[in-house]
């Protein structure tokens, strides 16, 4: 997981498309560079990354989740290089390179005049103020976290795939909505045990503000996967002596034909089906009938 520090996250709001794209690129380049270094793994690895922008309380917390195999194809393409048990790459080394790559490109975007600043952050449009704002994070340790999967590949993929269409809060976490605001459940990760599960009430406008923080720019995708996977997957299977999945030339018809909702990605519910060439009609206007019958 690659996380942006608060000072950088503040720059995201008016520059979501640019900074989120930079987060993807810097994180993936960091992984590919360190993995290819012979002092570490010395291999070409595969990556699937998903953008996640919120914390449990819907605060702004941009970070990227990644999954990758426990090894990669050797640099000469002739063998498979496996990682050490429960260890892939050193997180401190990853954090330093990630910080350098991200900040270098962020300053380049500012110098090109592509970043926008408004309100209390308008002064950051000046280069000196912008560099002064970034000065503390150049010395701070950036959070990069890695661990072995907690279950098999299917479970890990299912866990990560939930983030591709998830919004900042699910209906199951909502407790109440009344004059006092919106009450919902969240996890306080600074606490342990039963105290981790907490309940929070926010004023309605603050709840809406936090929710809208995580609306992505139009056309922006949360998921990133390598473009070389079509050529690399057959080679990886060959080196690992793993059979390719069966290729079904006549796939079965999907059991659920309903199209996904363009807003949330969930399956749409069919409430009525009209006969061919029959246009749907609304209910009769009873108010017009009442006017005609009125004395």
pLDDT digits (tens, 9 = 90+) for 213-255: 999 998 888 887 666 777 788 888 888 888 887 764 555 555 5
With cut-offs at 50, 70 and 90, classify the pLDDT of residue 283.
Answer: low
Considering the chain, what percentage of its residues have pLDDT values greater than 70? 85
Rounded Cα distance, 4 and 7, in Å = 8
Mean of the per-residue pLDDT values of the chain = 86
What's the distance, Cα to Cα, between the start and end of the chain in Å? 74
More confident residue, 102 or 194: 102
Residues in the chain, total: 295
Do residues 237 and 229 make contact, with C-beta atoms less than 8 angstroms apart? no
**What would the pLDDT profile of 9-63 be if each residue is shown by its tens digit?**
889 989 999 999 999 999 999 999 999 999 999 999 999 899 999 999 999 999 9
Which pairs with CB-CB distance under 8 Å and at least 24 residues apart come from 27-31? 27/2, 27/64, 27/66, 27/98, 28/224, 28/226, 29/101, 30/2, 30/94, 30/97, 30/98, 30/101, 30/144, 31/66, 31/68, 31/89, 31/94
pLDDT tens digit sequence for 63-85: 999 988 899 999 999 999 999 98
State yes or no: pLDDT of 157 exceeds 70.
Answer: yes
């Amino acid at each position: 997981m690659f996380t942006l520090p608060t000072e950088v996250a503040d720059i995201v709001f008016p520059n979501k498309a640019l900074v989120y794209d930079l987060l993807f690129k810097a994180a993936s380049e960091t992984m590919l560079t360190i993995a290819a270094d012979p002092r570490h793994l010395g291999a070409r690895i595969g990556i699937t990354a998903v953008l996640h922008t919120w914390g449990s309380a819907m605060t702004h917390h941009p970070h990227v989740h990644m999954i990758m195999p426990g090894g990669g194809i050797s640099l000469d393409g002739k063998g498979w290089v496996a990682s050490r048990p429960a260890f892939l790459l050193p997180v401190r080394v990853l954090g330093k390179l990630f910080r350098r790559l991200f900040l270098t490109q962020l300053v380049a975007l500012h110098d090109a005049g592509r970043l926008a600043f408004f309100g209390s952050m308008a002064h950051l449009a000046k280069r000196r103020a912008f560099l002064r704002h970034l000065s503390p994070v150049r010395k701070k340790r950036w959070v990069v976290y890695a661990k072995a999967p907690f279950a098999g590949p299917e479970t890990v993929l299912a866990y990560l795939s939930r983030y591709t269409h998830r919004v900042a809060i699910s209906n199951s976490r909502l407790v109440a909505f009344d004059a006092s605001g919106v009450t919902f459940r969240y996890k306080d990760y600074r606490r342990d045990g039963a105290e981790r599960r907490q309940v929070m009430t926010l004023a309605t406008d603050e709840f809406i503000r936090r929710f809208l923080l995580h609306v992505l720019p139009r056309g922006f995708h949360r998921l990133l996967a390598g473009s070389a996977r079509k050529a690399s997957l057959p080679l990886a299977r060959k080196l690992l002596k793993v059979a390719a999945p069966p290729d079904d030339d006549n796939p079965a018809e999907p059991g659920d034909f309903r199209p996904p909702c363009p807003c949330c990605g969930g399956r749409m519910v069919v409430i009525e089906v009209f006969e061919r060439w029959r246009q749907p009609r609304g209910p009769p206007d009873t108010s017009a009938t009442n006017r005609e019958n009125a004395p």
